[in-house]
Amino acid sequence: MIVVDDIHKHFGGFHAVDGASLSIKPGSITGLIGPNGAGKTTLFNVIAGVLKPTSGRVTMNGEDITGLPPHTLFHKGLLRTFQIAHEFSSMTCRENLMMVPGNQSGETLWNTWFGRKRIADEERALRAKADEVLEFLTVEHLADHKAGQISGGQKKLLELGRTMMVDAKIVFLDEVGAGVNRTLLNTIGDAILRLNQERNYTFVVIEHDMDFIGKICDPVICMAEGKVLAEGTLDEIKANEHVIEAYLGTGLKNKEQVGA
Amino acid sequence: MDLLNAFVALSNFVLIPAIAYGSQLALGALGVTLIYGILRFSNFAHGDTMAFGTMVTILFTWLFQSWGISLGPVPTALLALPFGILGCMALLLFTDRVVYKFYREQKAKPVILVIVSLGVMFIMNGLVRFIIGPDDQRFADGERFIVSVRTFKDMTGLEEGLAIKTTQGITVITAVIVVAALFWFLNRTRTGKSMRAYSDNEDLALLSGINPERVVMITWMIVAALATVAGVLYGLDKSFKPFTYFQLLLPIFASAIVGGLGSPLGAIAGGFTIAFSEVMVTYAWKKVAGYALPESLAPDGLAQLLSTDYKFAVSFVILLIVLLFRPTGLFAGKSV
């Protein structure tokens, strides 16, 4: 579905992504792992249109989407979340969600003054949907809280909720578990699995928590130094010599041998 | 001691002019603050944007006057105002297309955009002088006073007179309507919310399917309307001279910064703070003090703290104090 072909992204002399190629199968939850500085987030930014690649191509269902602006990709169903949760801090959680779908009729100046009824109908539908999403994520009590005031983990949930407001096809989650406690992480993991199974979302997940990756992701892709090192199930990745060398290190190898 | 007369004199020379001037500054500062909040730079061309919008309005006013169209007691300029706004919108959208868009796509730093706006300012400056000339233009017509000194004296029998100019009344009423419409727009409409969202978190707004070009376009259109309204009101109240509008930049920026850049509510509070300080510091208090104080304490001199020539120094000092002690402004906008 998404094919990344030999992407290079250079910042001056620094090669953040150095010829990464991978493909993401529809309906999968692909894990993207790698040491810090492996170029995972940069690759995300290139795919999501935030950064233009130095060279290389990204295609979605055969269509070239390289370097399209984020809001265009958004309308094609490609969404991403951020490593550090972003939110519209001065709006409530419900309003945050209601902001998401683009091309609303209230966005033109004409309709603002002369299309009041249409806007009102649309807003009502959106409101219902936002409430449904909050309920799905089990945070309906936060609907009227300012998004700037909720906890970091709840912001991550809100980010996930944002993807549910539209008919997302593929969602890129950047370190969805960073700074989130176990219980909330499980909630997030469950939500991802349910979205994948019930609504056929495709996910790509950057994550450092191997338990979390092992629980929800198949396949797993490992990156290091801007290149793709290996692809397979988590166990295959863990057994891969290159990966152990570049990333997991001897510590984990020993741990495995001890059988912990 | 005669407190009633003192209050009338105070209203006549301080309160009413300051409220009118404050409304004009607030409208100007709203434009600056919107650009800062959404496009993320300080627009030095704002004073000359106001001058351009006002110039177009004046040209249409003259046209209507030559056709014999008038609004009776209300200035003809109000009829020409919508055309001025449209002209100003056209200019700003054109400027954005040929100048700012390029830098936006480069993701240029705000400081570069500030210098770019300085260049735009010089061009607009020249354009206005080229079309209408550098001289003073008076374009207020219709009734001059809502309440004149004579009628007030006859009505109340007081020694001191009170005059309310038509332009002052119009200024305050228009400002209230415009501000109410703007706040309704920003808080209640989807477009306004997209603008707030874009101002709050640009990256996220893009990933929420908000089209940045549309937000930018609507911002410029609103700014054009605000600038033209502010400029025309100021011009009606005082007179139109391109250089004065350029000079207005300082009190307008001071208002926006005092209130907190990026905060619309702050821009209004800032506008009135600056206006009241300016008028109060440069007013000769002799008359008011003469009424309010016992005869033995009445001042011999003018009791004027600062000559009106130095009125811009007042905004400057307030600006300095705010930047030193509360850099985010009264309403905690973005720090400068």
Task: Specify the DSSP class assigned to residue A15.
Answer: E
| Residue-level pLDDT at B227 | 96
Asked if B332 reaches chain A (Cβ–Cβ under 8 Å), the answer is no
Instruction: Give B146 to chain A, closest Cα distance, Å.
Output: 33
B127 within some domain? yes
Q: Which of B16, B12, B59 is nearest to B232 (CA)?
A: B59
Q: Token pair of A79, please? A: 């969404």
Which range is most confident: A82-96, B124-138, B194-208? B124-138
User: Is residue B334 in a domain?
Assistant: no
What is the reported pLDDT for A250? 56
Nearest-Cα distance to chain A for B203, in Å, is: 8
What is the three-state SS of chain B?
A: CCHHHHHHHHHHHHHHHHHHHHHHHHHHHHHHHHHHHHCCCCCCCHHHHHHHHHHHHHHHHHHHHHCCCCECCECCHHHHHHHHHHHHHHHHHHHHHHHHHHHHHCCCCHHHHHHHHHHHHHHHHHHHHHHHCCCCECCCCCCCEEECHHHHHHHHCCCCCCCEEHHHHHHHHHHHHHHHHHHHHHHHCHHHHHHHHHHHCHHHHHCCCCCHHHHHHHHHHHHHHHHHHHHHHHHHHCCECHHHHHHCHHHHHHHHHHHCCCCHHHHHHHHHHHHHHHHHHHCCCHHHHHHHCCHHHCCCCCCCCCCHHHHHHHHHHHHHHHHHHCCCCCCCCCCC
- In the prediction, which pLDDT does B58 show? 95
Q: pLDDT category, A210, cuts 50, 70, 90?
A: confident
Nearest chain B residue to A108 by CA: give it.
B191
Question: Are B206 and A109 within 8 A, CB to CB?
Answer: no
Q: What DSSP character marks residue A128?
A: H
Closest partner residue to B207 (CB to CB) among A80, A101, A104 is A80
Q: Which residues of chain A lie closer than 8 angstroms to B221, CB-CB?
A: 109
Most confident option among A145-159, A170-184, B259-273? B259-273
* Contact residues, B window 52-91, toward A, CB-based 8 Å cutoff: none
Asked if residues A21 and A231 have their Cβ atoms less than 8 Å apart, the reply is: no
For an interface test with A, the pick among B198, B204, B215, B219 (most A C-beta atoms closer than 10 Å) comes out as: B204
> Tokens 């495709």 identify what position?
A202
Residue B29: inside a domain? yes
Q: Please state the rounded mean pLDDT for residues A207-233.
A: 85
A140 to chain B nearest CA, in Å? 21
Give the model's confidence band at A258: pLDDT under 50 very low, under 70 low, under 90 confident, else very high.
Answer: very low
- pLDDT tens digits for A111-141? 777 777 878 888 888 888 888 888 888 888 8
Taking only Cα atoms into account, the Rg of chain A, rounded to an integer number of angstroms, comes to 20
User: Please, what is the average pLDDT of chain A?
Assistant: 82
CA distance A99 to B205: 8
**The predicted structure's pLDDT at residue A251:** 54
pLDDT tens across A136-175, in order?
888 888 888 888 888 888 888 888 888 888 877 888 888 8
> Which domains does chain A carry?
2-258 (3.40.50.300)
What is the CATH classification number for the domain harbouring B270? Answer: 1.10.3470
Establish if B297 belongs to a structural domain.
Answer: yes
Which chain B residues are Cβ-neighbours of A87 within 8 angstroms? 201, 204
Residue B180's domain spans which residues? 3-325
The per-residue pLDDT for A219 is 87
Q: Is residue B285 part of a domain?
A: yes
- Rounded mean pLDDT, B115-122: 95
Verify whether the Cβ–Cβ distance A99 to B201 is below 8 Å: no
**Residue A99 with chain B: CB contacts under 8 Å:** 193-194, 197, 205, 208, 210
Can you tell me the mean pLDDT for A21-32? Answer: 88
- Residue numbers in A near B208 (CB within 8 A): 71, 74, 99-100, 102, 162
Report yes or no: B191 at the A interface, CB cutoff 8 Å. Answer: yes
Rounded CA-CA distance A73/A83 in Å is 19
pLDDT number for residue A188? 85
Predicted local distance difference test score (pLDDT) of residue A194 = 87
CB contact under 8 A, A86 and B203: yes
d(CA A202, nearest CA chain B) in Å: 17
Domain contains B330: no
Confirm if B264 and B90 have CB atoms less than 8 A apart.
Answer: no
Residue A91's pLDDT band, with cuts at 50, 70 and 90, is: confident
CA distance A99 to chain B (A): 7
Residue B206 forms contact with A (CB below 8 Å): yes
Closest CB to B208: pick one of A48, A99, A109. Answer: A99
Chain-chain contact of B200 with A90 (C-beta, under 8 angstroms) = yes
% of chain B surpassing 70 pLDDT: 98
Radius of gyration of chain B from Cα atoms?
Answer: 21
The total of structural domains in chain B comes to: 1
* Position B332 in a domain: no
Asked whether residue B102 is domain-assigned, the answer is yes
pLDDT per position as a tens digit, B282-322: 988 888 888 888 888 888 888 888 888 888 888 889 989 98
Question: What does DSSP assign to residue A85?
Answer: P
